[in-house]
Amino acid sequence: MANNLSNKTRKRGALRWSIPVLVGLCASMAVSAPLFVGAKAAAAASLPTVTIGYENNGADPEMVAIAQGFFEKYMHAHVVLRLFSSGPAALAATGSGSLQFMTGIGNPPVVSAIAQGAPLQVIWAQERYTYDEGLAVKNNSGIRSMKDLKGKTVALVLGSTSPFELQVGLKKAGVPVNSVHLLNMSPPEMRAAWINGQIQAAYVWDPVFNSLLADHGHPLMYDQTVAQQAPIFNLTVVNSTWAAQHKSEVVGFIRAELAGVAFYQQHRAQALHDMAMEAGISIPLAKAELRGYQIDTAKVELGPDGLGRGKGVATSLVTKSLTSAAAYLYSSNTISNLPSHMERFVNPTYVENAVSGK
């Protein structure tokens, strides 16, 4: 009690003697405030501007990093976030240098850009698709196995990961790829065509994938079905020419991504709120989408199921995803030259530096 009384007395005393001093402080602040504001503005102006492109991939820790301001905090830069609806356009911008980072990109588009000479490196694997993308078929379609797809039509987005995954799944089941007709559609178009009875099968990702399953559909395969033959990641690439000259900003980017993962693990309710808000979806849908992802920690990122490290990069799952995508794109005449040694385009050193504090 004596200590509390003493604290209260000191506070009252401070009020008594601060009144005359306050007049002097106000006069001093009137002079120094413009200097302080000017110094703060000068410091802000000296920060480099970094543009990060992203796609709205729904619920993932990167949405948390955006909501919590982690990119600005860890990169010590003026960060501009730019939403893209087209992967090829985003990768072209990254290759030209007008965009420094692009996140949420699948392995086939990345390989296609690399094959065209874009100076890109994969530096982060945001998440791997497990059950958030797959082949949905109508219950009354008579399609019960992959072999039943012969002569049937499957709606999908040409140029995306879907035809790649479907082809691998068909080959695995012993079904001739050219025996299945492919119909190019955007995900919203698929949803409308499904409702109207115009299509009976579609290879697509969430949220449309789950909506088709909920509307008298069942899954014939998931990305997880061919995870070892054709793993699909949401990848982050950086312009490698720019990155070589801006190592600290790239390491800061990785720290921001890691902070998003850590926040998601430690503050699940707030993280779900952030994801839903940034992605423009409901919290229940965010929960459902997260169940279809494998989200990696730094330890996994640097292991065989991620980017790998050292000699392990050559055999890592990310490198395998790029290699298998390259083979598919080349065989389908999407790219005219087959890039070799895809590990050259996977760089885990920024994650290593972020973890070690360098």
* Interatomic CA distance for residues 274 and 23, integer angstroms: 45
* Interatomic CA distance for residues 60 and 110, integer angstroms: 20
Q: Which residue has the higher pLDDT, 131 or 38?
A: 131
- How far does Cα 19 stand from its chain's mean position? 55
pLDDT digits (tens, 9 = 90+) for 132-178: 899 999 999 999 999 999 999 999 988 778 898 999 999 999 999 99
Q: The tokens of 87 are what?
A: 């992967």
Band of pLDDT at residue 279, cut at 50, 70 and 90: confident
pLDDT digits (tens, 9 = 90+) for 90-118: 899 999 999 999 999 888 889 999 999 99
217 by Cβ neighbours in 10 Å (0-12 / 13-18 / 19+) ranks as buried
Q: Return the CA Rg of the chain.
A: 26
- Contact indicator for 253, 59 with CB cutoff of 8 Å: no
DSSP character for 152? -
Mean pLDDT, residues 206-234: 90
Per-range mean pLDDT, top range of 47-56, 79-88, 95-104: 95-104
Average pLDDT of the chain? 86
Domains of the chain, CATH where assigned: 49-129+230-356 (3.40.190.10), 133-226 (3.40.190.10)
Q: Which of 251, 252, 237 minimizes the C-alpha distance to 94?
A: 237
